[in-house]
Copies of this chain bind each other. A is one copy, B any other.
């Protein structure tokens, strides 16, 4: 079930970096959700390569084709399938990589698991390119969530070896100015100053034929209290399960997260107050989740993205065919830092996880009836 996620909403991802197409299926979407394909296309554009000086030069239009599941601009209750054609696949010689696994990539374990049957071209099914169909699914989930007033935003919290830090997302209420800034800035930071410094750090890494990583913070505003389940299907488990499916993610935490380990209980506990008849947490070290279930505070989580393993420097590896040590210099186009492009992917992953949890709990409102087709 490795490339399928979810319970009531079930998202499947298929494709390899250089297969005829990549795509996704979504099963379990309620009928009647309006889907705006232009909005979806703009969301995908945020992830697409070739957009700025700091990303890979491979250019793909990433225009999704909806094959099923949508009629007259609305979901129809049947499984939704969408594909993106792979049009710009260089006939690179991947023969060397089959023998010489790239450090930090899945080449070696994939060869152990699949033998030489593994499609190594461009990383095959392990390619970061597979985040494009994840963003189709997530972009659709985001549109569904927005119908019930849930907004998901992410940004780069910290980037690079120096830990260049952006401002934090508001952990208690939706800060409209903050979100508006994030949605207009070309670089996914709240602070333009941080953005400038981060972009420079990426260019510096590129100049040294090296790469850097960072931490992405993501918030979901507007989640009702009471969503999610105890034990293995809590909101944390669900987000972690999908987030670790994003290539290069090596850590996930919620609210104060790892920092909570350094707090006293009296500081970490979020006190409650009654505000306008509703229970409101007064701080959000919990990241909006207690016992796996939402508290009504925003869901706040972070994911650590390792530096891109593809670097231009010569690296120590092995030649599995010759059975000996070998040196490898990875050729081809690659990002010196995938963190900026991973920001919409974090939003997509979060949206899928939350929509599935809301559907599991019957908390997603029934779409309006359709009067278009009757006489």
Q: Are B12 and A27 in contact (CB under 8 A)?
A: yes
A261 to B160, CA, bound (A): 7
Q: How far is the CA of A373 from the CA of B252 in the complex (A)?
A: 37
Give a binary string over A67-104; 1 marks a CB under 8 Å from any B CB, 0 the rest. 11101001111111101000000000001001101011
Question: Residue among A80, A294, A325, A362 with the most chain B CB within 10 A?
Answer: A362
- Within 8 Å by CB of A68, from B10, B16, B261, B295, lies B16
Please tell me if A293 contacts chain B, counting CB pairs below 8 Å: yes
- A138 at the binding interface (Cβ < 8 Å): no
User: Do B250 and A287 have beta carbons less than 8 Å apart?
Assistant: yes
Nearest B residue (CB) for A20? B67
Residue A52 at the chain B interface, CB threshold 8 Å: no
A34 to B85: give the CA distance in the assembly, Å: 24
A106 adjacent to B66 (CB under 8 Å): no
How far apart sit A101 and B226, CA to CA, in the bound complex (Å)?
14
Whether A226 contacts B112 by the Cβ 8 Å rule is yes
Q: Please, which residues of chain B bring their CB within 8 A of the CB of A285?
A: 306
Residue contact B106 to A230, C-beta cutoff 8 Å: yes
A153 lies within 8 A of chain B by Cβ: no
In contact, B291 and A230 (Cβ under 8 angstroms): no
Chain B residues with Cβ below 8 Å from A290 are: 104-106, 108-109
Q: Are B307 and A3 in contact (CB under 8 A)?
A: no
Which B residues are in CB contact (< 8 Å) with A256? Answer: 250, 306
Can you name the residue of chain B whose Cβ is closest to the Cβ of A319?
B274
Cβ-defined contact, B265 with A308, below 8 A: yes
Tell me whether B14 and A230 are in contact (CB under 8 A).
no
Does A145 lie at the interface of the complex (its beta carbon under 8 Å from any beta carbon of B)? no
- Chain B residues lying within 8 Å of A113, measured Cβ to Cβ, are 31, 77, 226-227, 293, 361
**What are the residues of chain B within 8 A of A149 when measuring CB–CB?**
none
Contact of A114 among B8, B77, B115 (CB under 8 A): B77
A:217-267 near B, CB below 8 Å: 225-234, 236-237, 240-242, 244-245, 247, 249-258, 260-266
A249 to chain B, nearest CB (A): 8
- In the complex, the answer to whether B320 meets A260 with C-beta atoms within 8 Å is no
Interface status of A126 (Cβ within 8 A of chain B): yes
Kindly provide the distance from the CB of A159 to the nearest chain B CB, expressed in whole angstroms: 8
Report how far A99 CA is from B373 CA in the complex, Å. 9
CB distance from A256 to the nearest CB of B (A): 7
User: Are A373 and B114 in contact (CB-based, < 8 A)?
Assistant: no
Q: Are A14 and B79 in contact (CB under 8 A)?
A: yes
CA distance A361 to B31 in the complex (A): 12
Chain B residues, Cβ within 8 Å of A263: 161, 213, 306-307
A8–B229 CA distance with the chains assembled, in angstroms: 12
A65: chain B residues within 8 A (beta carbon): 20
**Quick one: which of A163-195 are within 8 Å of B by CB?**
163
Can you identify 18 A-B contacts, CB atoms within 8 angstroms? A1-B232, A1-B233, A8-B8, A14-B81, A77-B113, A109-B294, A112-B296, A115-B367, A115-B369, A130-B231, A213-B261, A215-B258, A240-B252, A241-B241, A247-B291, A250-B256, A258-B258, A261-B305
A1-B28, A32-B114, A106-B230 given; 18 more Cβ-contact pairs under 8 Å: A2-B27, A2-B229, A5-B232, A7-B7, A31-B115, A74-B117, A105-B291, A109-B289, A113-B293, A161-B263, A234-B244, A237-B242, A247-B291, A251-B251, A257-B304, A260-B304, A271-B316, A274-B318
Nearest 6 pairs of A and B residues by beta carbon: A106-B291, A251-B253, A2-B229, A211-B265, A112-B226, A109-B293
